[in-house]
Amino acid sequence: MIDEVGRTFEAEVVGEDLISDLAVLKIPASNLPYVLPAGSETLRVGDWVVAVGNAAALRGGPTVTIGIVSGRDRTITTELGQLFDLIQTDAAINFGNSGGPLVDLNGNVVGINTAMLRQAQGIGFAVSSVVAVPILEALINEGRYIRPLIGLTGTDAAAALGLFEED
């Protein structure tokens, strides 16, 4: 990790959650500036947000893009599992931005950039701070996040039984 004055730190992974694409890193330093996730509860469709990341790992430092909140409470399914309560934004979220903050214009970290739809333009997603905080706390305290699972899966019974004819 490199801080704003160009110092480099070795980082230790404290914990990671592959499904939400969140991780906690520990570095041997103190008195560093930081921000806390907060504020996604009051976020509305149409609010301006800023996505910070390291798009495509390009040289020259972080990237910053601006956009609006296009949707709230989105759910998408990835190869690793289902992400829910996502913030949809048209701020550019590209490969490499994952893990960077999605910030409102008051400086609140309202989400953590995590995904984009490759088949669409201008549709990116961030894990809301409401979802991220308990995961991050579990990673800090336990080194892992355990998702509750009841063991049930839903399906469309009529479609599964072939009760509808296709045109």
Q: What is the pLDDT of residue 152?
A: 65
- Point out the residues of the chain with pLDDT beneath 70: 1-6, 149, 151-167
- Looking at residue 154, its pLDDT comes to 63
* pTM for this prediction: 0.78
| Distance (Å, whole) CA 42 – CA 62 | 27
| pLDDT value, residue 49 | 96
User: What counts of helices (H) and strands (E) characterise the chain?
Assistant: 2, 8
Place of tokens 């599964």: 160
Other Cβ atoms within 10 Å of 160 Cβ, number: 8
Strands, E assignment, the chain: 12-17, 22-26, 48-53, 63-78, 81-89, 101-104, 109-116, 124-128
Apex CA 27: angle with CA 144 and CA 39, to 5°? Answer: 65
Considering all CA atoms of the chain, what is the largest pairwise distance in Å, rounded to the nearest integer? 65
At 141, phi and psi to the nearest 5?
Answer: -80, -35
